[in-house]
Structure 1
Amino acid sequence: MAVQAQLYPESLGLWMVNNPVSVSGLEADLCFANYPQQQPPHPPPPEPTQDHFLQQQRSQNYGFDTCTLGPSSSSSSTCDSSFSMALSQSLDAHLEMQTREVDCILRLQSERLRSTLQEQRKRQLSILLKSMESKASWLMRQKEEDLAQARKRNMELEACLRRAQKDGESWQQMARSKEATIVDLNKSLEQVRERVALASNRAHDAESYCCGGGGGGSCESTEQQQEKTIGCKRCNSRRSCVVFLPCR
């Protein structure tokens, strides 16, 4: 029917005058001819209801009834004009509906594209975050290992420092003990020197006494004994400057 309406509009007008009831069906065929079968968008466009088609059929039937009731001379021109008006209205409605559907499809496609881009961006961000997290975790592990090594080295250095402090304290104690020993030895040496000096004084007095009494041989023997007593036990030529005492 749609093909006949496009090729032979005049014969279709006469046929519609004789069959006024089928105008709504023809209009429906014209409206929905070449209508693309598409996926209904979200939200779906408003579709014409059955009441709308019935009302349109009644109005067209009313128009054609008036055309048939008129005079026979002007019936063909009036019916042609009414048919062209109805056809133009139906085409306008069909174009408007297609425009709305195209707009809905474009909005749906834009929303799908936007959602696809958002998902792709989320995936890229997640991949980037995972790579950054893996790199950060590797760096953290490396820094923790370096920190553990530094702590271990610090503990070793602290142990060495404690050992050095203990060694220093032991050496200080040893030095203090040696100083005390040296002081004791110096005191003992002074006492020995005093004793030697007293002994030498007594020997000198005895020598002078012996020499004054005319005994020269006894004086010489006394001097030799004194020199042996005061002289060094090692070289036997000089006087002793250090006294060796037995251990305690």
Structure 2
Amino acid sequence: MAIQAQLYSDNTGFLDSGGNGHVNGGFNRFCFGHQWRQLQVQPQQQQLQIQQPENQGLCFENNGESVLFCQTMVSQVEEQRREIDQFIKSQNERLRLLLQEQRKQQVAAMAEKLESKATLLLSQKDAELVKATNKTMELQNLVNKLEMENQTWRRVAQENEAMVVSLNNTLGQLQQQNLVGCCFNNGVDDAESCCEETEEEEKNRGFVGTKTMMMVCKCCNSRSSCVLFLPCRHLCSCKDCAAFLDCCPVCSTAKKASIEALIS
């Protein structure tokens, strides 16, 4: 660039001198000046040729250092990337283990809580089962008791029914005896004569006496028998004596019950 500027200034001077009319002087200066300038330019060109390889070497050295620096930086970045990846992996593994342990603890706590609730519910159900079992046993005992009472009352009803039948039979016999006695007395009065009236009256008095002896109380021998003893079914006591008797005065059977017979 300096050489071109110098040549440009020389050319300008040549033109200026031509313009002023000094053609010969300007031409001489131009010719000799050009040779002189060539002599000055050659050392500069040689110096530039010498410096050019040096500059190229410096550029090559700078390029090598840049490549080495880039390789170093790439290796460092790669190493840092690997370290970061390893750190992230380790943190992920640590977080996974931590979450797994936390989940295990939560599951264990929940299981323990559920187990306590289940134990409480089972104990309550066991208590209810025991209570229901006891209630069932009580009901079963009550049913058995009611069955026994039912059988007892059925037996008592059968005994009472038999007693009623016996009383009806006894009352029928008594009524029949009274009817026979009345008919016998009426027939004797109508059939026999007046001369035989005294004899018949004595016989009738004897029959009535026998009947009276049959109906008299076997305990006091004064009042008429009106109480029927059970289970022997003997009509052998008056009402007053029956209250103090524990057994039948005829057969000495233990008295279980007594019924007052209404005999007209």
Which TM class, normalised by the smaller chain length? 0.5 to 0.7
**Is 1:245 the equivalent of 2:235?**
yes
The AA in structure 1 aligned to 2:111 is L
Residue 188 of structure 1 and its aligned partner are, at CA, apart by: 2.0
Counterpart Cα distance in 2 of 1:73 and 1:216: 199
1:191-240 per-residue CA deviation (whole Å, 9 max, x = no partner) reads 22222211111011122235x637889999969x97xx69x99xxxxxx9
Paired residue secondary structure (1:181): helix
Counterpart Cα distance in 1 of 2:56 and 2:132: 111
Partner of 2:68: 86
Using the size of structure 1 for normalisation, the TM-score is: 0.58
5+ unaligned residues in a row in structure 2: which ranges? 1-52, 217-224, 229-233, 237-247, 252-264
Partner of 2:191: 209
Counterpart Cα distance in 1 of 2:78 and 2:139: 89
Partner of 1:29: none
Residue 179 of structure 1 and its aligned partner are, at CA, apart by: 1.3
Q: Report 1:106-125 matches (<5 A).
A: 106-125=88-107
The AA in structure 2 aligned to 1:88 is C
Counterpart Cα distance in 1 of 2:200 and 2:100: 129
**Is 1:185 the equivalent of 2:167?**
yes
Partner of 2:130: 148
Counterpart Cα distance in 2 of 1:96 and 1:188: 133
1:144-181 per-residue CA deviation (whole Å, 9 max, x = no partner) reads 01110110111011112101111110121121122112
Q: Report 1:49-128 matches (<5 A).
A: 72-128=54-110
1:169 pairs with one of 151, 154, 173: 151
Paired residue secondary structure (2:235): coil
Counterpart Cα distance in 1 of 2:96 and 2:199: 137
Deviates most, 135-144 or 185-194: 185-194
Partner of 2:16: none
Counterpart Cα distance in 1 of 2:58 and 2:153: 138
Q: Which aligned segments of 4 or more residues in structure 1 are displaced greater than 4 angstroms?
A: 214-223, 240-244
State the Cα RMSD in Å. Answer: 3.3
**How many residue pairs end up in the alignment?**
170
Using the size of structure 2 for normalisation, the TM-score is: 0.55
1:134 pairs with one of 105, 116, 122: 116
Q: Which has more strand, going by share of residues?
A: 2
Paired residue secondary structure (1:245): strand
Counterpart Cα distance in 2 of 1:241 and 1:152: 53
1:79-119 per-residue CA deviation (whole Å, 9 max, x = no partner) reads 11101111111101210221122122112212211221121
**Structure whose CA Rg is larger:** 2
Counterpart Cα distance in 2 of 1:96 and 1:86: 15
Aligned-pair identity in percent equals: 28
Counterpart Cα distance in 2 of 1:205 and 1:104: 146
5+ unaligned residues in a row in structure 1: which ranges? 1-70, 234-239
